[in-house]
Chains A and B, each alone.
Chain A
Amino acid sequence: MELSKTLLLVGGTSDIGRATALHYAKAGWHVQLAARNEEEARRNADDIRARTGAEVTVHRIDILETSDFDSLASSLPTLPDTVVCVVGELGDQAKGQIDIAHASLVLRTNFEGPALLLGFFAERFLARGSGTLVGVSSVAGDRGRGSNYLYGAAKAGFTAFLSGLRNRLAPKGLRVVTVKPGFVRTQMTAGMKLPPVLTAAPGEVGRAIFTAAEKSGRDVIYVRPVWLPVMMVIGSIPERFFKRLRL
């Protein structure tokens, strides 16, 4: 039997993180779950272990404490084959407009932290000569909208970072995958009214990530294909009309 590969899932208490880790575990992978709240991550680790029999370890990480990335890496039993970062924080747009600390938190949690973390592992993967990096970005990063441009701008930055990283690593045989889930029914969107056709379950995102990262070899995916035409339309509206839309 082929030796099991290892996934590092950063954001191990989120619904998308749980579903993604479970999907990898079902496919026979070892799982390293990293999260800020270890206790919560342990719930998910127990669950994945009980459901699949996979080896699951739990690691503490705060995506904003970039100086701790080294100690995270040294706490891992092995350098993973794939890193998936699902960390994100929708934040409160209205609050961020007047509260710089909150705006900074949204920008750093969605861009700086995830980008630097994947960049950090990119150097280790380069040294080893193999590895796949997956960043969960957002359709909100495709075009800034009045209702969530702090989040959107950070995701746009993250998308650009992933694109650049992919461009640099591809010749070395390393993969970088950008995932834009669209709406997902999770804790982050609890209580929101979401259009059913455009809204995925966390399990769909987990499956889409696994397929793109480990099977199909695609670089940029929308979890639900319907988002591609939707975002093409949104992207093609001239700015002089777009700026007057309430979005």
Chain B
Amino acid sequence: MASRTGLVARGNGRAYGDAAIGERVTLMTRGFDRIRGFDQRTGRIQVEAGVLLSDLLDIVVPKGIFPPVVPGTKFVTIGGMIASDVRGKNHHRDGGFGDYVESLTLALPDGGVVTCSRDENPELLSATIGGMGLTGTILDATFHLRPIETGWMRQTTTVARNLDGAIRALQETSRATYSVTWIDCLARGASLGRSLIFAAEHADRRDVEALRPGAEPYPTSRLGRLGVPLDLPSFALNRLSVSIFNELYFRAGAVKSGYPFLVHWNPYFFPLDGIGNWNRIYGREGFLQYQCVIPTLQAQAVLGSIIERVSKHGNASFLAVLKQLGSSHGDLSFPLEGFTLTLDLPVSDDVFPLLDELDRFVVEAGGRLYLAKDARQLPATFEAGYPGLPRFRDLRRAIGATGRISSRLSVRLGI
């Protein structure tokens, strides 16, 4: 590896942008898929970086153990989860995945292999968590999993008639372990930002007894049957079809609001994983994902402007998700205390100017964009959002990573 330059490691290729494409060489890591040690009693596990989260879940969930943090898809590698410092619906309470990494092994650009933990090479650890693979190649990681009593989630849905209501509801449900908001991006006027807030806890045995007497504590998953067999034509997703979908989805959610019910962990955490090749609904042109975070104080006003802008735009966002975030610890980690909005937008000529406009709202509010989903932000937007960047660059220089470990993303943004 020492002789190669312009290299970056790739996990399962689920980043939306150019983060896991090497400038010259892309190192596939899926072969590093061994679990090296697992103590069922303490929940401590050591895995190689290419182990898939889905694989890990299959092994640990039936044993009553769950990862401390899971992102919105389970088809990611543990190495990718660390490199992107992924977070889930519990970030406001529990932090990101990187916060749970006890130690990791890193292959440096000079060929050396080092252990990074809170005590050993701590600077390298905080640069590697959220560091987009730009400090070296993660080989393995050790972290703790948590006990759960059942494989069910006790979910409560809250309806918010507009964005103010959504943010208030998210703050009110911040005591819930998991919380996420689906926003209808096409609603306008008084209904701008109308939302469904899904709060949930891991159900204990009493919950299951009360809500679904006699149910299996660890139900098997019945997902993964559906699939999108081909690219849909680009006109399939239009303002009308998406607003019909949104209306139905909103009503279906509203019917279930107010009282708790049980859902399987798989569809709660990974709704889109149940539909194979879901990205094909965007047709051949594909889509961009846009994820920004806005600090708490400005969140209401700025997110309001962003959603208003998107809702006026002809481009229908099929998916819009709002979450509350806490602070993070990696030099380039995405989360800061505030609210994060995620939009899926079909690619078209006029989507790029729209996103540039949204970037200006974000920068002005002191927010930032998530690197694993970015494919188009300007270096200035990035630099304004990530104050840890100079320290990260210094560290890259010090370990000889500059120019040797590089992805299309790092070249594009001048990391």
* Complex interface: chain B residues within 8 A of A50 (CB): 35-38, 45, 59
Q: With an 8 A cutoff between CB atoms, is B34 at the interface?
A: yes
* Complex interface: chain B residues within 8 A of A47 (CB): 34-36
The reply to whether B59 and A46 contact each other, CB–CB distance below 8 Å, is no
The reply to whether A51 and B37 contact each other, CB–CB distance below 8 Å, is no
Q: Which residues B167-188 have CB closer than 8 A to chain A? A: none
Q: With an 8 A cutoff between CB atoms, is A43 at the interface?
A: yes
Using a CB–CB cutoff of 8 Å, the interface residues on chain A facing chain B are 43-44, 46-47, 50-51, 53
List the B residue with the shortest CB-CB distance to A46.
B36
Q: Is the interface of B mostly helix, strand, loop or mixed?
A: strand
From residue A220, how far is it (CB to closest CB) to chain B in Å? 32
List the A residue with the shortest CB-CB distance to B63.
A53
List the B residue with the shortest CB-CB distance to A52.
B59
A47-B45 Cα distance, complex, nearest whole Å: 11
List the A residue with the shortest CB-CB distance to B35.
A50
Q: List 11 A-B contacts (CB under 8 A).
A: A43-B34, A46-B34, A46-B35, A46-B36, A46-B37, A47-B34, A47-B35, A50-B35, A50-B37, A51-B35, A51-B38
Sample of 18 further A-B pairs with CB below 8 A, known A46-B34, A47-B35, A51-B38: A43-B34, A43-B36, A43-B48, A44-B34, A46-B35, A46-B36, A46-B37, A47-B34, A47-B36, A50-B35, A50-B36, A50-B37, A50-B38, A50-B45, A50-B59, A51-B35, A51-B59, A53-B40
* Complex interface: chain A residues within 8 A of B35 (CB): 46-47, 50-51
A19-B59 Cα distance, complex, nearest whole Å: 15
How many A-B Cβ pairs are below 8 Å?
21
From residue A199, how far is it (CB to closest CB) to chain B in Å? 17
* Complex interface: chain A residues within 8 A of B37 (CB): 46, 50
Size class of B's contact patch? under 10
* Complex interface: chain B residues within 8 A of A51 (CB): 35, 38, 59
* Complex interface: chain A residues within 8 A of B59 (CB): 50-51
A165-B12 Cα distance, complex, nearest whole Å: 45
List 9 tightest A-B contacts by C-beta distance, closest first: A50-B38, A47-B34, A50-B35, A46-B36, A43-B34, A47-B35, A51-B59, A50-B37, A51-B35
From residue A101, how far is it (CB to closest CB) to chain B in Å? 29
From residue B28, how far is it (CB to closest CB) to chain A in Å? 10
A50-B46 Cα distance, complex, nearest whole Å: 9
List the A residue with the shortest CB-CB distance to B33.
A47
**B239-256 toward A: CB 8 Å interface, digit per residue (1/0)?**
000000000000000000
* Complex interface: chain B residues within 8 A of A43 (CB): 34, 36, 48
Identify the interface centre among A46, A50, A51, A53: most chain B CB within 10 Å of its CB.
A50
A51-B62 Cα distance, complex, nearest whole Å: 12
A44-B45 Cα distance, complex, nearest whole Å: 15
Q: Which residues B1-60 have CB closer than 8 A to chain A? A: 34-38, 40, 45, 48, 59
* Complex interface: chain A residues within 8 A of B40 (CB): 53
From residue B59, how far is it (CB to closest CB) to chain A in Å? 6
A50-B38 Cα distance, complex, nearest whole Å: 5
A68-B45 Cα distance, complex, nearest whole Å: 36
A53-B34 Cα distance, complex, nearest whole Å: 14
* Complex interface: chain A residues within 8 A of B34 (CB): 43-44, 46-47
A44-B40 Cα distance, complex, nearest whole Å: 19
Q: Which residues B304-328 have CB closer than 8 A to chain A? A: none
From residue A40, how far is it (CB to closest CB) to chain B in Å? 10
* Complex interface: chain B residues within 8 A of A53 (CB): 40
From residue A58, how far is it (CB to closest CB) to chain B in Å? 13
* Complex interface: chain A residues within 8 A of B36 (CB): 43, 46-47, 50
* Complex interface: chain A residues within 8 A of B45 (CB): 50
A50-B36 Cα distance, complex, nearest whole Å: 7
List the B residue with the shortest CB-CB distance to A190.
B31
Identify the interface centre among B34, B38, B40, B59: most chain A CB within 10 Å of its CB.
B34
From residue B61, how far is it (CB to closest CB) to chain A in Å? 13
A50-B51 Cα distance, complex, nearest whole Å: 13
List the B residue with the shortest CB-CB distance to A45.
B34
A50-B34 Cα distance, complex, nearest whole Å: 9
From residue A55, how far is it (CB to closest CB) to chain B in Å? 15
From residue B199, how far is it (CB to closest CB) to chain A in Å? 33
* Complex interface: chain A residues within 8 A of B38 (CB): 50-51
From residue A67, how far is it (CB to closest CB) to chain B in Å? 32
A47-B36 Cα distance, complex, nearest whole Å: 5
A46-B36 Cα distance, complex, nearest whole Å: 5
List the A residue with the shortest CB-CB distance to B38.
A50
From residue A106, how far is it (CB to closest CB) to chain B in Å? 25
List the A residue with the shortest CB-CB distance to B36.
A46
From residue B267, how far is it (CB to closest CB) to chain A in Å? 25
**B92-128 toward A: CB 8 Å interface, digit per residue (1/0)?**
0000000000000000000000000000000000000
From residue A189, how far is it (CB to closest CB) to chain B in Å? 14
A212-B91 Cα distance, complex, nearest whole Å: 49
From residue A14, how far is it (CB to closest CB) to chain B in Å? 13
